[in-house]
Amino acid sequence: MKAIRIHQNGGPEVLKWEDHQLPPLKAGEARIKHSAISLNFSDINVRRGGFYIANPLQFPVVLGNEGAGVVAEIAPDVTNVKVGDRVAYVGSGGPFYENTGSYAEERNLPARVLVKLPDGISEQVAAAIMLKGLTASMVINRVYKPKKGDKVLIHAAASGVGLLLVQWCKHLGATVLGTVGSQDKAWLVAANGCDHPILYRETDFVAEVKKIVPGGVHAVLDGVGKDTFLPSLDVMRPFATICNYGNASGHPDPLDLLLLAKKGSLLVSRPAFSTHIADPTDYKVACDEMFQLVISGAIKVDLSKTYALKDVAQAHRDLEDRKTMGSVVLIP
Ligand SMILES: NC(=O)c1ccc[n+]([C@@H]2O[C@H](COP(=O)([O-])OP(=O)(O)OC[C@H]3O[C@@H](n4cnc5c(N)ncnc54)[C@H](OP(=O)(O)O)[C@@H]3O)[C@@H](O)[C@H]2O)c1
Protein backbone atom coordinates (compact mmCIF):
# COMPACT_ATOMS: atom_id res chain seq x y z
CA MET A 1 0.00 0.00 0.00
CA LYS A 2 0.97 3.66 -0.32
CA ALA A 3 1.65 6.25 2.34
CA ILE A 4 3.04 9.75 2.67
CA ARG A 5 6.36 9.44 4.49
CA ILE A 6 9.09 11.84 5.57
CA HIS A 7 12.75 10.86 5.81
CA GLN A 8 13.78 14.09 7.54
CA ASN A 9 12.20 17.19 9.04
CA GLY A 10 11.72 20.14 6.71
CA GLY A 11 9.32 21.94 4.38
CA PRO A 12 6.42 20.40 2.43
CA GLU A 13 8.95 19.00 -0.08
CA VAL A 14 9.97 16.29 2.44
CA LEU A 15 6.51 14.66 2.10
CA LYS A 16 6.95 11.63 -0.20
CA TRP A 17 4.25 9.33 -1.67
CA GLU A 18 5.86 5.91 -1.26
CA ASP A 19 5.24 2.19 -0.85
CA HIS A 20 4.76 1.30 2.80
CA GLN A 21 4.30 -2.01 4.58
CA LEU A 22 2.29 -2.55 7.73
CA PRO A 23 3.35 -5.25 10.19
CA PRO A 24 0.88 -8.05 11.03
CA LEU A 25 -1.72 -7.06 13.63
CA LYS A 26 -0.75 -7.37 17.29
CA ALA A 27 -3.17 -8.46 20.00
CA GLY A 28 -5.87 -5.85 20.53
CA GLU A 29 -5.32 -4.20 17.16
CA ALA A 30 -7.50 -3.58 14.13
CA ARG A 31 -6.54 -2.57 10.62
CA ILE A 32 -8.52 0.30 9.21
CA LYS A 33 -8.78 1.08 5.51
CA HIS A 34 -8.93 4.86 5.44
CA SER A 35 -11.56 6.62 3.39
CA ALA A 36 -10.74 10.05 4.82
CA ILE A 37 -7.71 11.41 6.68
CA SER A 38 -7.59 14.64 8.65
CA LEU A 39 -5.19 17.49 8.04
CA ASN A 40 -4.13 19.23 11.24
CA PHE A 41 -1.81 22.10 12.01
CA SER A 42 0.03 19.73 14.34
CA ASP A 43 1.02 17.65 11.27
CA ILE A 44 2.96 20.67 10.08
CA ASN A 45 4.60 21.05 13.47
CA VAL A 46 5.70 17.38 13.40
CA ARG A 47 6.91 17.73 9.80
CA ARG A 48 8.94 20.82 10.71
CA GLY A 49 10.33 19.08 13.81
CA GLY A 50 10.85 19.94 17.43
CA PHE A 51 7.21 20.25 18.42
CA TYR A 52 6.38 18.66 21.81
CA ILE A 53 8.43 15.65 20.78
CA ALA A 54 10.41 14.10 23.62
CA ASN A 55 12.11 11.32 21.62
CA PRO A 56 13.89 11.72 18.27
CA LEU A 57 11.67 10.55 15.38
CA GLN A 58 12.61 7.22 13.80
CA PHE A 59 12.54 7.92 10.06
CA PRO A 60 10.80 7.18 7.79
CA VAL A 61 7.77 8.60 9.57
CA VAL A 62 4.18 8.47 8.32
CA LEU A 63 2.52 11.70 9.55
CA GLY A 64 -1.04 12.19 10.79
CA ASN A 65 -3.01 11.39 13.92
CA GLU A 66 -6.58 11.20 12.78
CA GLY A 67 -8.79 9.52 10.22
CA ALA A 68 -11.88 7.51 9.39
CA GLY A 69 -12.67 4.47 7.32
CA VAL A 70 -13.75 0.86 7.44
CA VAL A 71 -12.37 -1.94 9.61
CA ALA A 72 -10.52 -4.31 7.26
CA GLU A 73 -9.14 -6.85 9.74
CA ILE A 74 -9.13 -7.48 13.49
CA ALA A 75 -6.87 -9.43 15.84
CA PRO A 76 -8.61 -12.53 17.28
CA ASP A 77 -9.07 -10.91 20.72
CA VAL A 78 -10.82 -7.75 19.47
CA THR A 79 -14.51 -7.54 20.35
CA ASN A 80 -15.48 -3.85 20.22
CA VAL A 81 -15.44 -3.62 16.40
CA LYS A 82 -15.90 -6.06 13.53
CA VAL A 83 -14.76 -6.17 9.92
CA GLY A 84 -16.87 -3.77 7.85
CA ASP A 85 -17.68 -1.33 10.68
CA ARG A 86 -17.41 2.35 9.81
CA VAL A 87 -15.10 3.95 12.38
CA ALA A 88 -13.04 7.02 13.17
CA TYR A 89 -10.23 7.79 15.60
CA VAL A 90 -8.06 10.59 16.89
CA GLY A 91 -4.69 9.59 18.27
CA SER A 92 -3.64 6.04 18.89
CA GLY A 93 -3.44 6.02 22.66
CA GLY A 94 0.28 6.86 23.02
CA PRO A 95 2.07 10.23 23.01
CA PHE A 96 0.17 12.11 20.31
CA TYR A 97 2.96 13.60 18.22
CA GLU A 98 5.13 10.51 18.36
CA ASN A 99 2.47 7.95 17.37
CA THR A 100 1.53 9.13 13.93
CA GLY A 101 0.62 7.03 10.87
CA SER A 102 -2.62 8.31 9.36
CA TYR A 103 -1.27 9.61 6.03
CA ALA A 104 -1.63 6.10 4.59
CA GLU A 105 -4.15 3.99 2.74
CA GLU A 106 -4.34 1.68 5.76
CA ARG A 107 -3.24 1.78 9.38
CA ASN A 108 -3.02 -0.62 12.34
CA LEU A 109 -4.43 0.80 15.55
CA PRO A 110 -5.39 -0.36 19.04
CA ALA A 111 -9.07 -1.23 18.48
CA ARG A 112 -10.02 0.58 21.70
CA VAL A 113 -9.37 3.99 20.08
CA LEU A 114 -11.90 3.34 17.29
CA VAL A 115 -15.29 5.03 17.53
CA LYS A 116 -18.17 3.52 15.56
CA LEU A 117 -19.87 6.09 13.35
CA PRO A 118 -23.64 6.52 13.60
CA ASP A 119 -25.84 6.79 10.50
CA GLY A 120 -25.79 10.41 9.44
CA ILE A 121 -22.06 10.86 10.04
CA SER A 122 -20.04 10.09 6.92
CA GLU A 123 -16.39 9.08 7.17
CA GLN A 124 -15.38 12.41 5.61
CA VAL A 125 -17.40 14.37 8.17
CA ALA A 126 -15.90 12.26 10.96
CA ALA A 127 -12.38 12.98 9.71
CA ALA A 128 -13.26 16.67 9.67
CA ILE A 129 -14.54 16.82 13.24
CA MET A 130 -12.82 14.28 15.48
CA LEU A 131 -9.87 16.35 16.70
CA LYS A 132 -11.29 19.75 15.82
CA GLY A 133 -14.77 19.02 17.18
CA LEU A 134 -13.43 17.40 20.34
CA THR A 135 -11.22 20.45 20.84
CA ALA A 136 -14.29 22.67 20.51
CA SER A 137 -16.09 20.30 22.89
CA MET A 138 -13.26 20.67 25.40
CA VAL A 139 -13.34 24.46 25.19
CA ILE A 140 -17.15 24.59 25.60
CA ASN A 141 -17.60 21.83 28.16
CA ARG A 142 -14.48 22.21 30.28
CA VAL A 143 -13.42 25.84 30.05
CA TYR A 144 -16.19 28.20 29.04
CA LYS A 145 -19.81 27.50 28.07
CA PRO A 146 -21.46 30.66 26.76
CA LYS A 147 -24.81 31.67 28.21
CA LYS A 148 -27.47 33.26 26.03
CA GLY A 149 -26.41 36.83 25.28
CA ASP A 150 -22.72 36.39 26.21
CA LYS A 151 -20.26 38.11 23.89
CA VAL A 152 -17.49 35.79 22.73
CA LEU A 153 -14.41 36.62 20.65
CA ILE A 154 -13.08 33.71 18.57
CA HIS A 155 -9.68 34.13 16.91
CA ALA A 156 -9.06 32.55 13.48
CA ALA A 157 -12.80 32.01 13.34
CA ALA A 158 -12.56 30.41 9.87
CA SER A 159 -10.01 27.79 10.97
CA GLY A 160 -10.94 24.15 11.52
CA VAL A 161 -11.61 24.51 15.25
CA GLY A 162 -12.66 28.16 14.93
CA LEU A 163 -15.54 27.49 12.54
CA LEU A 164 -16.92 24.76 14.81
CA LEU A 165 -16.63 27.06 17.85
CA VAL A 166 -18.45 29.87 16.00
CA GLN A 167 -21.40 27.58 15.27
CA TRP A 168 -21.42 25.98 18.74
CA CYS A 169 -21.31 29.35 20.58
CA LYS A 170 -24.05 30.71 18.30
CA HIS A 171 -26.16 27.59 18.92
CA LEU A 172 -25.88 28.31 22.67
CA GLY A 173 -27.12 31.87 22.14
CA ALA A 174 -23.89 33.89 22.25
CA THR A 175 -23.09 36.97 20.19
CA VAL A 176 -20.00 35.94 18.26
CA LEU A 177 -17.12 38.19 17.22
CA GLY A 178 -14.53 36.46 15.05
CA THR A 179 -11.14 37.50 13.73
CA VAL A 180 -10.28 36.33 10.20
CA GLY A 181 -7.39 36.77 7.78
CA SER A 182 -9.29 37.56 4.57
CA GLN A 183 -12.58 38.82 3.16
CA ASP A 184 -13.45 35.31 1.90
CA LYS A 185 -13.05 34.03 5.45
CA ALA A 186 -15.19 36.91 6.74
CA TRP A 187 -18.02 35.85 4.42
CA LEU A 188 -17.65 32.22 5.44
CA VAL A 189 -17.82 32.90 9.18
CA ALA A 190 -20.74 35.30 8.73
CA ALA A 191 -22.61 32.56 6.84
CA ASN A 192 -21.94 30.26 9.80
CA GLY A 193 -23.27 32.56 12.52
CA CYS A 194 -20.47 35.01 13.31
CA ASP A 195 -22.19 38.34 14.07
CA HIS A 196 -19.07 40.50 13.76
CA PRO A 197 -16.22 39.28 11.52
CA ILE A 198 -13.06 41.35 12.07
CA LEU A 199 -10.26 41.43 9.49
CA TYR A 200 -7.39 41.37 11.98
CA ARG A 201 -4.63 41.60 9.39
CA GLU A 202 -6.01 44.93 8.15
CA THR A 203 -7.45 46.46 11.30
CA ASP A 204 -6.50 46.59 14.97
CA PHE A 205 -8.77 43.92 16.44
CA VAL A 206 -8.51 45.42 19.95
CA ALA A 207 -9.94 48.75 18.76
CA GLU A 208 -12.63 46.97 16.71
CA VAL A 209 -13.79 44.78 19.58
CA LYS A 210 -13.89 47.77 21.94
CA LYS A 211 -16.12 49.59 19.44
CA ILE A 212 -18.52 46.62 19.19
CA VAL A 213 -18.50 45.63 22.90
CA PRO A 214 -17.32 48.64 24.95
CA GLY A 215 -17.71 46.73 28.23
CA GLY A 216 -15.52 43.86 27.02
CA VAL A 217 -16.28 40.29 25.97
CA HIS A 218 -17.15 37.44 28.34
CA ALA A 219 -14.60 35.13 26.74
CA VAL A 220 -11.81 34.93 24.19
CA LEU A 221 -11.23 31.58 22.47
CA ASP A 222 -7.74 31.70 20.97
CA GLY A 223 -6.11 29.16 18.66
CA VAL A 224 -3.61 31.68 17.25
CA GLY A 225 -1.44 32.27 20.32
CA LYS A 226 1.60 34.50 19.97
CA ASP A 227 0.02 37.26 17.86
CA THR A 228 -3.31 37.42 19.70
CA PHE A 229 -3.04 36.22 23.29
CA LEU A 230 -1.65 39.27 25.10
CA PRO A 231 -3.59 41.93 23.12
CA SER A 232 -6.78 39.96 23.83
CA LEU A 233 -6.47 40.73 27.55
CA ASP A 234 -7.41 44.33 26.64
CA VAL A 235 -10.85 43.43 25.22
CA MET A 236 -12.13 41.40 28.18
CA ARG A 237 -14.64 42.40 30.84
CA PRO A 238 -13.78 41.78 34.53
CA PHE A 239 -13.58 38.10 35.43
CA ALA A 240 -13.81 37.11 31.76
CA THR A 241 -12.14 33.90 30.56
CA ILE A 242 -9.42 33.52 27.96
CA CYS A 243 -8.84 30.05 26.59
CA ASN A 244 -5.66 29.65 24.56
CA TYR A 245 -6.05 26.25 22.93
CA GLY A 246 -3.64 26.67 20.01
CA ASN A 247 -0.60 28.44 18.65
CA ALA A 248 -0.91 28.80 14.87
CA SER A 249 1.29 31.93 15.07
CA GLY A 250 3.64 30.49 17.71
CA HIS A 251 3.53 30.02 21.48
CA PRO A 252 2.40 33.10 23.41
CA ASP A 253 5.08 34.84 25.44
CA PRO A 254 5.28 33.75 29.09
CA LEU A 255 2.50 35.28 31.15
CA ASP A 256 3.05 37.37 34.27
CA LEU A 257 0.17 36.20 36.49
CA LEU A 258 -0.14 39.64 38.06
CA LEU A 259 -1.15 40.95 34.62
CA LEU A 260 -4.40 38.99 34.98
CA ALA A 261 -5.22 40.98 38.14
CA LYS A 262 -4.30 44.28 36.49
CA LYS A 263 -6.43 43.58 33.40
CA GLY A 264 -9.59 42.85 35.42
CA SER A 265 -9.15 39.64 37.41
CA LEU A 266 -9.16 37.48 34.32
CA LEU A 267 -9.31 33.70 34.14
CA VAL A 268 -6.90 31.86 31.86
CA SER A 269 -6.78 28.28 30.62
CA ARG A 270 -4.46 26.39 28.26
CA PRO A 271 -6.14 23.01 27.74
CA ALA A 272 -5.08 19.99 25.65
CA PHE A 273 -7.84 17.87 24.09
CA SER A 274 -6.11 14.64 25.16
CA THR A 275 -6.99 15.44 28.79
CA HIS A 276 -10.61 16.03 27.77
CA ILE A 277 -11.02 12.54 26.35
CA ALA A 278 -8.54 10.60 28.52
CA ASP A 279 -11.40 8.79 30.27
CA PRO A 280 -13.11 6.40 27.78
CA THR A 281 -16.57 7.37 29.10
CA ASP A 282 -15.79 11.06 28.60
CA TYR A 283 -14.55 10.24 25.07
CA LYS A 284 -17.82 8.50 24.21
CA VAL A 285 -20.00 11.24 25.74
CA ALA A 286 -18.06 13.94 23.88
CA CYS A 287 -18.26 12.07 20.54
CA ASP A 288 -21.99 11.40 20.97
CA GLU A 289 -22.68 15.08 21.72
CA MET A 290 -20.59 16.23 18.76
CA PHE A 291 -22.19 13.76 16.33
CA GLN A 292 -25.68 14.80 17.53
CA LEU A 293 -24.89 18.49 16.98
CA VAL A 294 -23.96 17.66 13.39
CA ILE A 295 -26.88 15.29 12.78
CA SER A 296 -29.33 17.90 14.16
CA GLY A 297 -27.89 20.55 11.85
CA ALA A 298 -26.74 22.83 14.70
CA ILE A 299 -23.20 22.43 13.37
CA LYS A 300 -22.59 22.18 9.65
CA VAL A 301 -19.41 20.70 8.21
CA ASP A 302 -18.35 22.04 4.83
CA LEU A 303 -16.45 19.40 2.87
CA SER A 304 -16.07 21.40 -0.30
CA LYS A 305 -12.28 21.48 0.00
CA THR A 306 -10.51 18.14 -0.03
CA TYR A 307 -7.08 17.10 -1.32
CA ALA A 308 -5.89 13.76 -2.62
CA LEU A 309 -3.58 12.25 0.01
CA LYS A 310 -0.74 12.11 -2.52
CA ASP A 311 -1.08 15.91 -2.95
CA VAL A 312 -0.77 16.59 0.77
CA ALA A 313 2.32 18.80 0.23
CA GLN A 314 0.03 21.35 -1.43
CA ALA A 315 -2.42 21.07 1.46
CA HIS A 316 0.45 21.78 3.90
CA ARG A 317 1.50 24.82 1.84
CA ASP A 318 -2.05 26.14 1.79
CA LEU A 319 -2.46 25.64 5.54
CA GLU A 320 0.86 27.37 6.27
CA ASP A 321 -0.06 30.21 3.88
CA ARG A 322 -3.37 30.65 5.77
CA LYS A 323 -5.36 29.85 2.63
CA THR A 324 -7.52 27.03 3.99
CA MET A 325 -10.94 27.49 5.54
CA GLY A 326 -12.71 25.13 7.93
CA SER A 327 -11.56 21.52 8.18
CA VAL A 328 -9.45 20.03 5.41
CA VAL A 329 -9.77 16.33 4.63
CA LEU A 330 -7.34 14.17 2.62
CA ILE A 331 -8.71 11.42 0.40
CA PRO A 332 -6.46 8.35 -0.05
N1 LIG B 1 -5.23 22.27 22.51
C2 LIG B 1 -5.48 21.25 21.73
O3 LIG B 1 -5.65 20.13 22.18
C4 LIG B 1 -5.59 21.48 20.26
C5 LIG B 1 -6.38 20.65 19.47
C6 LIG B 1 -6.53 20.93 18.11
C7 LIG B 1 -5.85 22.00 17.55
N8 LIG B 1 -5.02 22.74 18.34
C9 LIG B 1 -4.28 23.88 17.79
O10 LIG B 1 -5.20 24.92 17.54
C11 LIG B 1 -4.72 25.74 16.49
C12 LIG B 1 -5.81 25.92 15.46
O13 LIG B 1 -6.13 24.66 14.89
P14 LIG B 1 -7.12 24.59 13.65
O15 LIG B 1 -7.19 23.18 13.21
O16 LIG B 1 -8.35 25.33 13.97
O17 LIG B 1 -6.31 25.53 12.65
P18 LIG B 1 -6.20 25.53 11.09
O19 LIG B 1 -7.48 25.17 10.45
O20 LIG B 1 -4.97 24.79 10.79
O21 LIG B 1 -5.98 27.09 10.78
C22 LIG B 1 -5.05 27.88 11.44
C23 LIG B 1 -5.44 29.35 11.16
O24 LIG B 1 -4.71 30.15 12.08
C25 LIG B 1 -4.59 31.43 11.51
N26 LIG B 1 -3.21 31.90 11.67
C27 LIG B 1 -2.86 33.01 12.36
N28 LIG B 1 -1.55 33.19 12.31
C29 LIG B 1 -1.04 32.18 11.57
C30 LIG B 1 0.28 31.86 11.15
N31 LIG B 1 1.34 32.59 11.52
N32 LIG B 1 0.44 30.78 10.38
C33 LIG B 1 -0.60 30.02 10.02
N34 LIG B 1 -1.89 30.28 10.39
C35 LIG B 1 -2.10 31.36 11.16
C36 LIG B 1 -5.00 31.35 10.04
O37 LIG B 1 -6.30 31.91 9.92
P38 LIG B 1 -6.48 33.44 9.47
O39 LIG B 1 -5.99 33.52 8.06
O40 LIG B 1 -7.92 33.68 9.59
O41 LIG B 1 -5.63 34.24 10.41
C42 LIG B 1 -5.05 29.86 9.79
O43 LIG B 1 -5.97 29.53 8.78
C44 LIG B 1 -3.46 25.06 15.97
O45 LIG B 1 -2.33 25.67 16.56
C46 LIG B 1 -3.60 23.65 16.47
O47 LIG B 1 -2.35 23.01 16.60
C48 LIG B 1 -4.90 22.51 19.68
Ligand 1 site-directed mutation target among 38, 48, 135, 227, most atoms within 8 Å of CB: 135
Main-chain dihedrals φ then ψ at residue 106, nearest 5 degrees: -140, 160
| Domain assignment of residue 156, given as a range | 148-270
Looking at the fold, whether 295 and 265 belong to one and the same domain comes out as: no
Q: Is 161 in the pocket of ligand 1 (CB under 6 A)?
A: yes
Looking at the fold, whether 111 and 196 belong to one and the same domain comes out as: no
Label residue 65 exposed, middle or buried (CB < 10 Å: 0-12, 13-18, 19+): buried
Q: Say how far residue 111 (Cα) sits from the centre of its chain.
A: 22
Beta bridge partners of 328: 39
Q: Is there a domain that residue 202 lies in? A: yes
CATH code at position 28: 3.90.180.10
Ligand 1 site-directed mutation target among 224, 243, 330, most atoms within 8 Å of CB: 224
> Could you identify the atom of ligand 1 that is nearest to the CA of residue 131?
6
> Residues 168, 174, 180, 183: what is their CA dihedral angle, to the nearest 10 degrees?
100
Looking at the fold, whether 43 and 104 belong to one and the same domain comes out as: yes
Q: Does the N-terminal peptide bond of residue 76 adopt cis geometry, omega within 30 degrees of 0?
A: no
Task: Enumerate long-range contacts of 196-205, CB under 8 Å, 24 or more apart.
Answer: 197/157, 200/155, 200/228, 205/179, 205/231, 205/235
Q: Is there a domain that residue 137 lies in? A: no
> Could you identify the atom of ligand 1 that is nearest to the CA of residue 326?
19
Could you say which residues of the chain have pLDDT below 50? none
**Cα(249) to centroid(ligand 1), Å:** 8
CATH code at position 180: 3.40.50.720
pTM, entire model: 0.95
Q: Is there a domain that residue 138 lies in? A: no
**Cα(41) to centroid(ligand 1), Å:** 6
Number of domains in the chain: 2
Stated as kind and residue range, the H or E segment containing 163 is: helix 160-171
Last residue in a domain, options 243, 270, 297 = 270
Q: Is 216 in the pocket of ligand 1 (CB under 6 A)?
A: no
CA 266 to CA 279: how far, in whole Å?
Answer: 29
CA 32 to CA 75: how far, in whole Å?
Answer: 12
Q: Is there a domain that residue 194 lies in? A: yes
CA 47 to CA 212: how far, in whole Å?
Answer: 40
Q: How confident is the model at residue 93, as a pLDDT?
A: 83
**Could you read off the pLDDT of 33-92 as tens digits, one per residue?**
999 999 998 899 899 987 666 777 889 999 999 999 999 999 999 999 999 999 999 999
Q: Is there a domain that residue 325 lies in? A: yes
Last residue in a domain, options 218, 240, 270 = 270
Q: Hey, whose CA ends up nearest to atom 2 of ligand 1?
A: 272
Last residue in a domain, options 237, 255, 270 = 270
Q: Is there a domain that residue 198 lies in? A: yes
Looking at the fold, whether 197 and 280 belong to one and the same domain comes out as: no
Q: Is 197 in the pocket of ligand 1 (CB under 6 A)?
A: no
Q: Is there a domain that residue 143 lies in? A: no
Cβ-based neighbour number of residue 105 at 10 Å:
16
Q: Is there a domain that residue 83 lies in? A: yes
